[in-house]
């Protein structure tokens, strides 16, 4: 009888001990989650160093030669942007300032692309910015695909910031004069 009573007592103690240790484990897990949620803050998407995103536009045109399909002509334009490999932001300024600066780098590359094709790259980019700035909001979304892509590339974010002085790109985008008269050395790219 005493042996049975001891067995029951040991069994009850074991169950109580497991219950308390399980409760302690659950509490510790909750505390760790709360601590992790409070300390992590923002999460960042980072890539291996040297990774980039490329935008490539290729247009291939078949010629009228015999036999057909033997000769083709192609035009290719490509741009590349480096992806972030650190979790810190290079500029501690408003996002619009960062986007304006990255657009300026893009415009310089587009100028170079036009220059290699024998056009006045600077005038073409400034004319495109001028035309994009004059486009009415009712016209957006009603043109052909390439015109909409070009419009989105040459539309600058609104606002002005004293920490980021305006450049000739912003002045061209905000111009109220006739774009064809200001930049006559470039035919329309839209």
Looking at the structure, tell me whether residues 121 and 175 fall in a common domain: yes
Q: In the prediction, which pLDDT does 76 show?
A: 84
Q: In the prediction, which pLDDT does 27 show?
A: 54
| Residue whose C-alpha is closest to residue 106's, from 47, 172, 34, 156 | 156
Looking at the structure, tell me whether residues 167 and 103 fall in a common domain: yes
Looking at the structure, tell me whether residues 76 and 99 fall in a common domain: no
Place of tokens 């069994």: 11
Looking at the structure, tell me whether residues 104 and 75 fall in a common domain: no
Which stretches of the chain score pLDDT less than 50?
Answer: none
Q: How far apart are alpha carbons 97 and 162 in whole angstroms?
A: 10
Q: Determine the structural domain holding residue 118 and report its residue range.
A: 95-182
Q: In the prediction, which pLDDT does 15 show?
A: 72
Q: How far apart are alpha carbons 80 and 82 in whole angstroms?
A: 7
For the whole model, what pTM was predicted? Answer: 0.50
In 49-188, the DSSP E strands lie at: 52-62, 72-82
């Amino acid at each position: 009888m005493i042996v049975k009573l001891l067995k029951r007592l040991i069994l009850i103690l074991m169950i109580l001990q497991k219950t308390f240790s399980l409760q302690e484990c659950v509490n510790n897990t909750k505390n760790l989650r709360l601590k992790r949620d409070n300390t992590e803050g923002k999460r960042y998407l980072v890539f291996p160093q040297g990774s980039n995103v490329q935008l490539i536009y290729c247009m291939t045109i078949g010629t009228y030669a015999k036999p057909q399909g033997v000769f083709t002509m192609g035009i290719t334009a490509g741009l590349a942007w480096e992806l972030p490999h650190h979790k810190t932001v290079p500029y501690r300024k408003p996002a619009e300032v960062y986007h304006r600066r990255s657009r300026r780098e893009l415009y310089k590359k587009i100028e170079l692309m036009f220059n290699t094709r024998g056009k006045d790259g600077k005038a073409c980019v400034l004319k495109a910015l001028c035309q994009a700035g004059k486009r009415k909001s009712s016209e957006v979304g009603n043109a052909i695909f390439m015109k909409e892509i070009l419009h989105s590339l040459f539309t600058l974010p609104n606002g002005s910031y004293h920490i980021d002085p305006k450049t000739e790109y912003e002045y061209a985008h905000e111009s109220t004069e006739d774009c064809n008269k200001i930049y006559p050395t470039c035919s329309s790219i839209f």
